[in-house]
Amino acid sequence: MAKNVGIVAIDIYFPPTCVQQEALEAHDGASKGKYTIGLGQDCMAFCTEVEDVISMSLTVVSSLLEKYGIDPKQIGRLEVGSETVIDKSKSIKTFLMQLFETCGNSDIEGVDSSNACYGGTAALFNCVNWVESNSWDGRYGLVVCTDSAVYAEGPARPTGGAAAIALLIGPDAPIAFESKLRGSHMAHAYDFYKPNLASEYPVVDGKLSQTCYLMAVDACYKHFCQKYEKFEKQQFSVADADYFVFHSPYNKLVQKSFARLLFNDFLKDASSIDETSKEKLAPFANLTGDESYQSRDLEKASQQVAKPFYDAKVQPTTLIPKQVGNMYTASLYAAFISLVHNKHSSLAGQRAVLFSYGSGLTATMFSLKFNEGKSPFSLSNIATVMSVDKKLKSRHEFAPEKFVETMHLMEKRYGAKDFVTSKDCSLLAPGTYYLTEVDTMYRRFYAKKDKDGAIENGMVANGH
């Protein structure tokens, strides 16, 4: 049986087009700091008319295969997590099969997994389980998280974002699953959903969604701690992991969520809570669950208690989510990539606990352990390949007016047929795929900007 199964390589792509949250605040007439401090967000990426979840996933998969020197024949499973629906039947995975056609590899299992922002985690678990199962054939799994998060004008709009992430899965991984340490919480809720099929925008109950998220944090942490105590024969507290990585709709919710873990530690009298902290949290010891989610005083006190832990164990994970925005299925893994980017030289031997959340709702807390790994699958090479700094620095800032104009165009284009795009790929990096046309039968055509900036190849809409 395969051992130390986990993530052996990673790549990330996000659109080079973005808008500053500070500029958006001013444009929207919001109070100063509402998006930057209130939400804790710096900048937001978005797709223009030449990009979508399919083009982004084509870009990131071809980039990962090329940069790590992976023969496409070595992929035996490919799964996509996404909540951005372009077609209600044909999976994004089938679009990606175009990348494997030239080498004649069609024997690749896996389809798309979906439940809001959780689909990528489901795809990841499925790929890891496959490598550990009897049906594994010795090849790599590949997980793709790809989403474009856009909201109607209003308070949720600054919580958008867009990205695609590819994770290569195999044995002897530098980022290995501690598979027994996992707690899930799944329930029926209407906190965020997309019932208006013709619109790309979700229906969101912001307050309910935040409560659902925090309740899921609590329930998953409880299940996770129970599993840890069962297998490790000792209590778990935030002291037992080096990093905590959260799905990040906006940074403020990550701050609140991590503080909940400390409050949970306090309630079970864990070693992470010193005497001073105990005193600060004592007034809240007898709140009911519901009261605890509503109490602003508890929120302040627990965030104060959490602060030193947050700075050490969470802050290194926040770079990309703050700079790119909510990436739905890619959000948690963008936070994780931020950690690898910031700390790759010191991660070996350390543990990261991840919290994945998808509205509706599905949530899991799980554990990963690092080792240095061997090139090309070493932590340092993964950080080099991902080039996070370079990608962030080479972006193009749009003025809010131009961002809003783009959103208007995208509203018309969503679900539409019979149009050609501008085909303007001047802002895209070489190697980026982009949408050129949707024909009268809704078939989508993409091209790739080559190394010299010209079109490398037009991709046929239909493989036959």
Q: Going residue by residue from 123 to 142, which x/- string records binding to a second copy, judged by CB under 8 A?
A: --xx-xxx-xxxx-------
Check binding of 73 to a second copy (CB under 8 A).
Answer: no
Between CA 52 and CA 15 the distance in angstroms is: 9
Strand order in the sheet with 161-170: 75-81, 140-149, 161-170, 6-13, 175-186, 362-370, 351-358, 243-246
Between CA 161 and CA 56 the distance in angstroms is: 13
Between CA 290 and CA 118 the distance in angstroms is: 24
**Positions in 336-395 near a second copy (CB under 8 A):** 358-362, 364
Q: Which stretch binds a second copy (CB under 8 A): 43-51, 157-165, 192-200, 449-457?
A: 192-200
Question: Shortest approach of a second copy to residue 200 CB, angstroms?
Answer: 9
117 in active site: yes
Is 449 strand, coil or helix?
Answer: strand
Check binding of 219 to a second copy (CB under 8 A).
Answer: yes
Q: Which stretch binds a second copy (CB under 8 A): 36-44, 208-216, 255-263, 333-341?
A: 208-216
Task: Tell me which of 51, 185, 200, 247 is the catalytic residue.
Answer: 247
212 in active site: no
464 in active site: no
Give whichever of 224 and 309 is closer to a second copy, judged by the CB atom. Answer: 224
Check binding of 221 to a second copy (CB under 8 A).
Answer: no
Structure letter (DSSP) for residue 109: B
Binding a second copy (rule: CB under 8 A), the pick from 13, 14, 46, 95 is: 95
Check binding of 65 to a second copy (CB under 8 A).
Answer: no
| Cβ(313)–Cβ(244) below 8 Å | yes
Give whichever of 123 and 306 is closer to a second copy, judged by the CB atom. Answer: 123
**Positions in 159-178 near a second copy (CB under 8 A):** 177
Q: Which stretch binds a second copy (CB under 8 A): 40-48, 196-204, 317-325, 401-409?
A: 196-204
Q: What angle do CA 127, 175, 40 make, to 5 degrees?
A: 95
Check binding of 94 to a second copy (CB under 8 A).
Answer: yes
Check binding of 461 to a second copy (CB under 8 A).
Answer: yes
Check binding of 98 to a second copy (CB under 8 A).
Answer: yes
**Positions in 403-432 near a second copy (CB under 8 A):** 415, 417
Give whichever of 67 and 139 is closer to a second copy, judged by the CB atom. Answer: 139
| Cβ(181)–Cβ(366) below 8 Å | yes
- C-alpha 321 chain-centroid distance: 8
Number of Cα atoms under 13 Å in the Cβ half of residue 337: 33
Question: Shortest approach of a second copy to residue 386 CB, angstroms?
Answer: 27
Give whichever of 229 and 269 is closer to a second copy, judged by the CB atom. Answer: 229
| Cβ(410)–Cβ(150) below 8 Å | yes
Check binding of 107 to a second copy (CB under 8 A).
Answer: yes
Structure letter (DSSP) for residue 117: B
Question: Shortest approach of a second copy to residue 449 CB, angstroms?
Answer: 20
Between CA 166 and CA 201 the distance in angstroms is: 25
User: Max CA-CA distance within the chain?
Assistant: 69
Q: Which stretch binds a second copy (CB under 8 A): 268-276, 318-326, 403-411, 456-464?
A: 456-464
Q: Which of 387, 346, 393, 386 is nearest to 370 (CA)?
A: 346
Question: Shortest approach of a second copy to residue 26 CB, angstroms?
Answer: 31
Pairing of strands 43-45, 17-20: antiparallel
Task: Tell me which of 43, 47, 117, 145 is the catalytic residue.
Answer: 117
Q: What is 217-275 written as a DSSP string? A: HHHHHHHHHHHHHHHHSS---GGG-SEEEE--SSHHHHHHHHHHHHHHHHHTT-TT--H
Question: Shortest approach of a second copy to residue 126 CB, angstroms?
Answer: 5
Give whichever of 47 and 189 is closer to a second copy, judged by the CB atom. Answer: 189
Binding a second copy (rule: CB under 8 A), the pick from 22, 151, 179, 429 is: 179
**Known catalytic residues?**
83, 117, 247
